[in-house]
A and B are shown apart, each in its own frame.
Chain A
Amino acid sequence: MEFFVIQSLIGVSYGLLLFMLSSGLTLIFSMMGVLNFAHASFYMLGAYVAYQVMNWIGYWPALVVAPLVVGVLGAIIERYGLRRVHRFGHVPELLFTFGLTYIVYELVQLIWGRAAVPYQIPSTLDGPLFTVFSTAFPTYRGFMMLVALVMMASLWLLLTRTRIGLVIQAALTHPETVEALGHNVPRVFMLVFGGGAALAGLAGVIGGNAFVTEPAMAGQVGSIIFVVTVVGGMGSLAGAFIASLLIGLLQTFAVSLDWSVASGLANFGVAVPASNFAYPLLTLTLSQVAPVLPYLLLVLVLIFRPRGLMGTRET
């Protein structure tokens, strides 16, 4: 029970972090049709900028400044890079963001070096929030969940209660019609791209010190957030939310369980001898298989339900 509660909380907090990343990706994808490979790079930039700003003026300003910096950077990249490539079609757009990941990866190493930087949790948020039986739940995890929920609520309010939000929503499904009604769709694209980058940056600010801030951090979440977006359904924020929690829980539980087929069989009194040809496969524990699970889910979803859990269209 103790194990279950703590693991669920950790899984949910990780899932909410994934949602902060994938919500921006989903918005960008469904509006512009661009699979933004550089999204995880914005996450990394958010963490590094926050580290730098924290060293100068402290953590709380960094929480505001870093997402803004990353958002402005995203908007600039959209305006002067992506928009140029837009007329060549979707594949060059995707490749443009793919090339960006190389550049950001190298620039981060150029400025902050190849090793991890000591980006730490502020002392006010350090320590246990509450204790379940004998396991403490860290305050920072709770803070992560709070920030993610606030972000979610404001995103929802923005999308449903403001004029620009309604235009964005309309452009998600009918970009041509929105343009025909006289809205400046390219500018909306720029705002959405910048906004999505800012959300990724915010995720970086709160994720960078919960995990490790290093040049490899973009690669670690990069493919996972694609899995979330595809499993949830392209263009569906609700789907992205469900898929984020699903994958957050799946990964958290899988890495902490050492069940295998062999140990399961042992419960029924069937022992698997080491000479069995399937021995290496049967003794694989769930924690060893954990890295494969999200991708397995991705492949299965794409085969059996290409539109994803909540999606309405396939491309």
Chain B
Amino acid sequence: MATIRYRPVDASRWLLWAATALVFLLLPMIFSGGFAITLLSQMGVFIIFCLSYNIIFGQGGMLSFGHAVYSGLGAYFAIHALNWVSASESFLVSPWTVALLPLVGGVAGAIFGVIFGYLTTKTAGTPFAMITLGIGEMVHAASLMFPGFFGGEGGVSTNRVIGNPVAGVTFGPGIQVYYLIAAWCFLSMLAMFAFSRTPLGRISNAVRDNPERVEFIGYSTRHVRFIVVIVSAFFAGIAGGLTAINFELVTAENVSALRSGGVLLAVFIGGAMFFFGPVLGAVIFIFFAVALSDYTKAWQFYLGAFFVLMVMYAPGGVAALVLMNLRVAKHRLFGRLRDAYTGLLLSGLLLGIGVIMIIEFGYHLSLESARSTVASLFGLPFDAAAGSTWVLAVGTTLAGALTFEFMRRRFRSEWDGVQGEIQLIEDRERLQ
């Protein structure tokens, strides 16, 4: 008996992907400065890395503290491959090799995914988290033991411009590297989205939600976790290969716990339960780590504070916030929240300015007071040693905190009311 299949073309999804491709294409034309291109390139690489992490974290339910191992080792293998090729003087010396180099990183990542995945996926839950932490620390410590491969403290460097240009492309200028990264990022996003729709991707969601039932219907949860880790390690390796091309340098920092922690932070901030969450998280994280670190020494404080606030008040991440507000907008109830939102944002801004003043002046005093006590903030000069400055900073913070708490309660009641109303409407629609 023939089964009839009806599969409507999901136009909105195609539109979304086309729009994504267009954004990748147009971004460097809008932000064309050298710094902006570097920033965008790093965002592209980090998007791949975050999405690969989310395959095991958000979709597979495995909390890993050693994901940088795969991207870092992938980066090392890619950079050694590039150096080997450019020394070989064979037909491989061409920009094509550079363009395909991330595959080397990906394969290396996948191979280490097989090795470490075999060891780690025997366990799940907290033991998995701990064993990945152990492996991460081991690889990082080992990277300083074998200077021949890891290059010691200085790392391994390379030159990405090899061979004759192909159609003018040498991968010398930053913009060409950006488009290479953008192409890999787009392809990887597509591939990882497709992976999340495969039966394997679906069963890994099931392993996350209820491993016991998955075992009962005849799957080996360990086997599923093992394959998922390998797939994730492959994409992490691709991100590592692109890092090697982008910076032309790979150091032990690439396999460090700092990098593993960073990707966890970014994915959680973005929202691990949604496919596009890690993309948002990667963009926000790179903004903090690269753009903000140019302006302030305290960027890690702001990142940490932002992260803790997200964990406390929005555990679904930025993606969940966006979707919840879209839901409100869909039901045309946004108008009711407008006043509450304005109050919340203004008081939050006041509180934020107060806290920033305290942090920045404090840093200025503890790090640079020997040179001068005058700190410039928001384009204005402040004397960080003067009492009046601190009265202003602490006063702003207190005023901000008081109004924010008041506004937060008002917003809370408005928000709960609107959510309840939406629930009612949706229930009624379902009954009809």
Contacts and interface: CB of A to CB of B under 8 A. Distances in A.
B308 A114 contact: no
Contact of B300 (A106, A112, A226, A289): A106
Given A35-B129, A85-B312, A112-B366, A288 B145 contact: yes
A303 B142 contact: no
A96 B131 CA distance: 20
Contacts of B146: 280
A92 B63 CA distance: 11
Interface stretch (A97-105, A178-186, A203-211): A97-105
Contacts of B311: 85, 88, 92, 95-96, 99
A191 B417 CA distance: 37
B382 to A, nearest CB: 16
B134 A102 contact: no
A81 B308 contact: yes
Interface stretch (B47-55, B78-86, B119-127, B321-329): B119-127
A292 B139 CA distance: 8
Interface string B125-137: 1110111011101
Given A106-B298, A110-B362, A302 B137 contact: no
A118 interface: no
Contacts of A106: 298, 300-301, 304
Size class of the A contact interface (CB-based, 8 Å) = 35 or more
Contact of A227 (B125, B134, B144, B315): B134
A296 B257 contact: no
B428 to A, nearest CB: 29
B346 to A, nearest CB: 24
A292 B127 contact: no
Contact of A103 (B125, B142, B305, B363): B305
A313 B257 CA distance: 27
A282 interface: no
A295 B134 contact: yes
By DSSP majority rule, is chain B's interface helix, strand, loop, or mixed? helix
Contacts of A153: none
Nearest to B145: A288
Contact of B366 (A99, A100, A111, A295): A111
Given A223-B257, A296-B138, A299-B119, A100 B130 contact: no
A193 B119 CA distance: 33
Contacts of B126: 35, 90, 234, 315
Contacts of B242: none
A88 B315 contact: yes
B134 A99 contact: no
B1 interface: no
Contacts of B264: 95, 98
A45 interface: no
B232 to A, nearest CB: 17
Contacts of A292: 138, 141-142, 145
Given A100-B304, A102-B303, A110 B312 contact: no
Contact of B123 (A109, A291, A298, A306): A306
A284 B127 CA distance: 30
Given A85-B312, A299-B138, A280 B130 contact: no
A84 B122 contact: no
B77 interface: no
B145 A111 contact: no
Q: In this complex, which of A91, A110, A314 has the most chain B Cβ atoms within 10 angstroms of its Cβ? A: A110
B127 A314 contact: yes
A61 interface: no
A122 interface: no
Contacts of B195: none
A107 interface: yes
Nearest to A291: B141
B283 to A, nearest CB: 19
A17 interface: no
Contact of B268 (A84, A95, A101, A302): A95
A92 B315 contact: yes
A110 B301 CA distance: 10
Interface string A226-238: 1100100010000
B122 A99 contact: no
B363 A110 contact: yes
Contacts of B142: 292
A113 interface: yes
Given A35-B129, A112-B366, A223-B257, A303 B119 contact: yes
B359 interface: yes
B334 interface: no
B127 A315 contact: yes
Interface in B288-307: 298, 300-301, 303-305, 307
7 contacts: A35-B130, A84-B312, A99-B305, A110-B359, A280-B146, A292-B141, A302-B131
Given A107-B301, A223-B133, 6 more contacts: A95-B264, A106-B298, A227-B134, A291-B144, A306-B123, A314-B123
Interface of B: 63, 119, 122-123, 125-127, 129-131, 133-135, 137-138, 141-142, 144-146, 148, 257, 261, 264-265, 268, 298, 300-301, 303-305, 307-308, 311-312, 315, 359, 362-363, 366-367
Interface of A: 35, 81, 84-85, 88, 90-92, 94-96, 98-103, 105-107, 109-114, 223, 226-227, 230, 234, 280, 284, 288-289, 291-292, 295-296, 298-299, 302-303, 306, 314-315
